[in-house]
Structure 1
Amino acid sequence: MAKKQPAKLPATVTRRLGKVSDVDLAKESGIDLETIRTARQIRGIQPRLWTAWKAKDIKLLGTMSDVEVAKRVGVTKTAVCRKRQSLGIEPYGESRKQARHRWTKKQLAWLGKISDAEVGRRVGLDATTVATKRESLGIEATRKGRAARKWSKKELSWLGKLPDAEIARRMKIGRRKVIVKRRLLGIENPTVAAAKARWTPEVIKMLGKMPDAVVSEKTGIPKSAISAYRSRHNIRIKRKQHVWTREDIEILGKKSDAAIAKKLGLKPSTVAAKRRRFKLPTAKGK
C-alpha cells in the first residue's frame, strides 16, 4: 500500500502547522479542517499545546479515573483515554478497586465518622470508592470530619413553632441548617405563617375603609404592618371629601388653620390649601 503523501498546502499555512490550533488555522486559511489536521499528522507535527507524557504521568494511567489523571497532568480526558488505550492499559474502575480491597473492622468503623477523603487517604483508596462502600452499607456521609447531627423528637417539635434563630441558638448550630431541615420536612416558617394568619378576610375588608390607626385598635396588628400591607396590595384609604359651606369659607383667615381643621375634622394642611386658593392671609394665634 502506497504511503499517503502530505497534502499540498501554501507555505504560509505549512509554517503555522502546530503553532496555532487546527481549527483556527482552517478558519484563517479557508482550508478544510480535516485537510489541515491530516497534513500536520503526516508531517509528524504535534498539535498546539500538546503535552509530552512523562514517566511519572504514565504511571498514573489505570490507577485512577481518566478525569482525575487529566486534571493532574493538565490535558483533556480524551487525550488520557487515547494514551491509555495505546499502551493497552485497562481503565480504572472503582468496583474492581473496591473488590480488591479487604475492609477491616477498624476501617469500616471510620465510615460516616470521618470524611470519605480522609478514609481514602488512610486506606489508599480514592474518595469515590470509599463513598460507594459507605453507601452500600447505608451509612450517611459526614462533613468537615464530624458526623451529621441527629435531630431528637423534641428538637423536631420546635420546627414551625419557634423562630429558626431561636432553634439554632438552642441547638448551637447555624440558622441555615435549621431552615434546610424545616424545608425538607415541608414545615412553613412560623413568622410567615403568623403573618398570613393575621390577614383574614374580615381584616382585609377594613383596609382602606377606615384609618390604619382604627384598624390597628380593632385587630391588634401594628399600624406600620397595616400600612405596609396596604402599600404592597395598592389599597388606598377612601376618605370622604369635605364639602365646604359658606360659613366654613367665611372663617378662613379669621381663625388659625389648626383651629379650623379641628372644628371641621380636617388636616391643617387641607385648610391651609383651601385658604391659599382664596388668597387669604393666615391668622396665627386666633
Structure 2
Amino acid sequence: MQSSTRSTWSGSGFVGARTIRNFERTGRNDRRLRRAKRRWRERLKKDPAKYRACVQRRRDADRKRYAANRDALLFRQRKYTSEHRQEIYAKNRDCSKKNWTKIIARRKATFLDDPEGNCARQRERARTLYERDPQARPSYKKKWRAANPEGARAYVRLSGHRRRAAAGGDFIRVDDWEALLKKYDRRCAYCGVQGALIEADHRVPLSRGGKNTIENIVPACRRCNRRKMTKTDEEFRTWLAAQATGSAKETTSGTPGELAEEVGPYRTTRSKVLRRGSARCHSRSRLRRHRADP
C-alpha cells in the first residue's frame, strides 16, 4: 500500500508533506495575525483613553525588559550595526528622502513645544562635545569640504546670494565705516572689548527688515556678533543685562559720556593692547567683501 504522504528534497534532507503544509499554514497565520493586530489598533484608536493606556503598558514593559537585559541588548545591537552599517545608512537615507516634509514638521513642532529648554539642551550638548574633543567639528568640516568641493562652493554661493538679496543692493562706504570705528574708539559696541577683530553688525537684522546702511550698523566683536544672532541691538543689550552678574562696570577708557552709553557697561573680556594697523587692516579687508551679515 502506497503511503499518502509524499516527501521532497530540501537540500539538507527529506521534508514530509505535513511539514510543508505546516510551513504554508504558518505563513497564512502570520498574515492573519498582522491583519488582526491592525484591526485591533484601529479599534483602540476609536477609544483614545484605552489606546493611550495600552501604549503606556507596552512602553513600561519595554523599559523593564531593556533594564533587565541592557548589556545583552546593547551588545546585540552593536554587533548588528557593525555588520550591517551600510545597509542601515542606506535605509535611513531613503526613509529621510521619502518623509522629509514630515520629519521637518515634527522637528519644528517638538522645538516649539519648549524652545528655551531645547535651546539650553542643544547648547549643553554642543559644550559637552566641544570639551570632549575641540577639534572634532572643525576636522569634520574640513574633511567634508575636501570630499565635497562642489557642494562647499555651492553653499558659499548660495549664502552670498542670500546676503545680497537681503541687503537690497545697499552698500557701506569705507569712509563711513572708518568714521564709525573712530566714534566707538574701535571697540565693540556691546561688550566694549578693544583689539579684537571688529565686524559690522546690523542693529536690526536683515532677516527682520533692517537695512544695509551705515545708520543700521554698529561695530561688534566676533563673539558678540555670533551671540546676537537675529536679535535687535536693544534686545541683545537686554539679554546681556540679564546674563551679567553683579553691578554694571563703568568704562575706564574711550570717550566718556555718550560713548560709554553706546559701548555699554557689560564687559565679557579684558581689553587688549591694539597692535598697530591690525584692526584697521582687518576691518578694511572685511568691509570690501561685506554686503550683509550672515
After TM superposition, the score normalised by the length of structure 2 is 0.22
After TM superposition, the score normalised by the length of structure 1 is 0.22
Structure with higher strand content: 2
| Greater relative contact order, per chain length (Cα 8 Å cut-off, separation 6+) | 2
Max Rg structure: 1
Structure with higher helix content: 2
